[in-house]
Structure 1
Amino acid sequence: MSTPRTLTLPDGVRPETLETDRGAFATLTAVPDLGTPLGTVLLVPGWTGSKEDFTPLVDHLCRYGWRTVAVDQRGQYETTGPSDKSAYSLAELGADVVAMSKALGGYSQLVGHSFGGLVAREAVLTDPSVFSTLTLLCSGPGAFTDETTLQSLQMLAFGLENLPIEQVYDLKLDHESKAPGYVAPPEDIAAFLRKRFTGNVPTSLAEITRRLTDAEDKTDQLAKSGVRTQVLHGATDDGWPLPVQEAMAAALGVEAEVIPDAGHSPAIDQPAATARALVDFFHDYPSLTTT
């Protein structure tokens, strides 16, 4: 989960609804004021996240001349979703992203953050023709393998299936607040984090959680997709282990790129540097220091 530092939208970034042939999706969208956009960047958030995880990045990418669209996935925060478990397979979520790109005119520069990277990869494997590039931002090749992480995810999924989502959030917050170094966010941000988590369709969040425990490694298939791929992470990313991300990059024939002074949420920690790394990749220029 990413924690926004402000809830104020930059000038030019506005909430919009993206209509597709697979339903409507809540977005934060920015379009350059002058001239024809260079293209479209489609940003897909991760587990317990939302389009707000990308707010400052949307603004920066738009200033570079790109129409930029950050979305809530189905069942996530302000996008509605069914209560049927089968609706939240990676195949279904990936098909949604294909539909989003088509609705935006195709040829999107696709960016998936964390769990959103697994969804973005699935979208590319479903229909590579509607994507120009793929960036896996602080993402990994498949399910987590650390036993402690897996147990925590399984417990959360079980709670979401058996308790009110508000109670699950309270239990999660209580656990996190006891961790060493925990710093409570400002009151308005704390209220947003609660609203966002409890705004998820419980089945959606439970199934997305389960995907983090059972997602298949499809790196080899992605390498054969023909879509140019970037692996990008914060220097202190604590999601998938950095050696795992670097090995994934190597399997894709690229080097993992690093955002200095950033953790698992570079779009919030270092939005300007993240935007520059993305834009350089879109244009195929040399980017930041590689590992």
Structure 2
Amino acid sequence: MSTPRSLTLPGGVVPATLETDRGSFATLQAVPDIGIPLGTALLVPGWTGSKEDFTPLVAELAAFGWRAVAVDQRGQHETPGPEDPAAYTLAELGADVVAMSKALGGYSQLVGHSFGGLVAREAVLIDPSVFSTITLLCSGPAGFSDEAKRQGLEMLAFGLENLPIEQVYDLKLDHDSKDPSWVAPPEEIAAWLRRRFTANVPVSLASITRRLLDAEDRTDELAKTGVRTQVVYGETDDGWPRPVQDTMAEALGISAQVVPDAGHSPAIDQPVATARLLTEFFHAR
């Protein structure tokens, strides 16, 4: 989950609904002030996240000349979703992203943050023809292997399947606040974070949580698609271990790139530097 610094949308960033042949998706979008966009960047958020995880990055990508579209996945925040766990497999979520890219004209520069990277990879494996590039941003090759992380995810998934989602959020917040590194956000942000979490379809969030436990490593398959791939993470990213991300990059025949002074959410921590890394990659051949 990323914590926004502000709830005010930057100039030029607007909410919009993206209609696809797999349903409607809530988005935040921006286009360059002048000229025709160089292309489209499609931004897919991660676990307990939303399109707002990319808000400052959407603005910066537009400033670099790109149309930027950040989405809520099905069942996530402001996008509705069914009450069926089978609707939240990686294959189903990936097919949504394929449909989004097609609705945006195809050839998207696809960016998947954290769990969104697993979904983005799945989308490219389903139909590589509708993506120009894929960036795995603070993401990993498979579900978490760290036992402490796995136990926490198991408990959260169990809670979401058996308790009201509001109670799960309060229990999670109580747990997180005991971490010595935890910093309480401003009251307005804290209230929004609670609203966002509890707006999720509980089945969706429970299923996504389980995907972080059982997702398989499909890095070799991604490498064979021919879609140009980028691996980026924050200097102090605490999601997947950074050596694991380095190894994934090596398997893809590339070197991971690091955003200085950023953690697990470079789009929030360093949006300008992140946009520069992304757009340099988009332009490369």
The TM-score by the shorter chain falls in which range? Answer: over 0.9
Gaps of 5+ in 2: none
For 2:183 and 2:238, the matched residues in 1 are separated by: 17
- Name the CA distance, whole Å, in 1 between partners of 2:216 and 2:76: 22
Distance 2:114 2:139 in 1: 4
Quick one: distance in 1 between partners of 2:3 and 2:100? 25
Runs of 4+ in 1 over 6 A off after TM superposition: none
Q: By how many angstroms is 1:19 displaced?
A: 0.2
Distance 1:225 1:181 in 2: 40
Q: Which has the higher mean CA deviation after the structures are superposed, 178-187 or 207-216?
A: 178-187
> In structure 2, how many angstroms separate the alpha carbons of the residues matched to 1:116 and 1:215?
12
The Cα of 1:32 is off from its aligned counterpart by: 1.4
Task: Give 1:31 deviation, angstroms.
Answer: 1.2
Whole-angstrom distance in 1 between the partners of 2:251 and 2:184: 39
Q: Alpha-carbon deviations, 1:51-80, whole Å to 9, x = none?
A: 000000000000011000000000000000
Is 1:157 paired with 2:157?
Answer: yes
Q: Structure 1 unaligned segments of length 5 or more: list them.
A: 286-291
SS in 2 for 1:129: helix
Distance 1:165 1:251 in 2: 39
Residue equivalent to 2:235: 235
Tell me whether 1:250 sits opposite 2:253 in the alignment: no
- Structure 2 residue aligned with 1:176: 176
Query: Is 1:220 paired with 2:220?
Result: yes
1:181 and 1:260 map into 2 onto residues whose CA distance is: 19
Read off the aligned partner of 1:183 and give its amino acid letter.
V
| Corresponding residue for residue 121 of structure 2 | 121
Structure 2 counterpart SS, 1:174: helix
- Structure 1 window deviating more from structure 2 (181-190 vs 239-248): it is 181-190
Cα deviation for residue 90 of structure 1 reads 0.1
Task: Select between 27-36 and 215-224 the one with higher mean Cα deviation.
Answer: 27-36
Distance 1:102 1:14 in 2: 21
Q: Which amino acid aligns with 1:24?
A: S
For 1:91, the aligned partner's letter is A
Code of the aligned partner of 1:176 = D
CA distance in 1, matches of 2:70, 2:248: 25
Name 2:141's counterpart in structure 1. 141
Deviations, residues 213-265 of structure 1 (Å, cap 9, x unaligned):
00000000000001000000001100000000000000000000000000000
CA distance in 2, matches of 1:152, 1:185: 22
What residue identity is the alignment partner of 2:259?
I
Query: Which amino acid counterpart does residue 60 of structure 1 have in structure 2?
Result: E
Q: After TM superposition, list the pairs within 5 Å mapping 1:51-70 onto structure 2.
A: 51-70=51-70
Calculate percent identity across the aligned residue pairs.
78
Residue type at the aligned position of 1:268: I
* Structure 2 SS opposite 1:255: coil
Matches within 5 A, 1:34-49: 34-49=34-49
Return the offset for 1:50.
0.2
Aligned AA for 2:61?
L
Aligned match of 2:284: 284
Q: Does 1:209 align with 2:209?
A: yes
Distance 1:224 1:148 in 2: 33
Residues 98-117 of structure 1: per-residue CA shift (max 9 Å, x gap): 00000000000000000000
C-alpha distance after superposition, 1:138-157 (max 9, x if no partner):
00000100111111101100
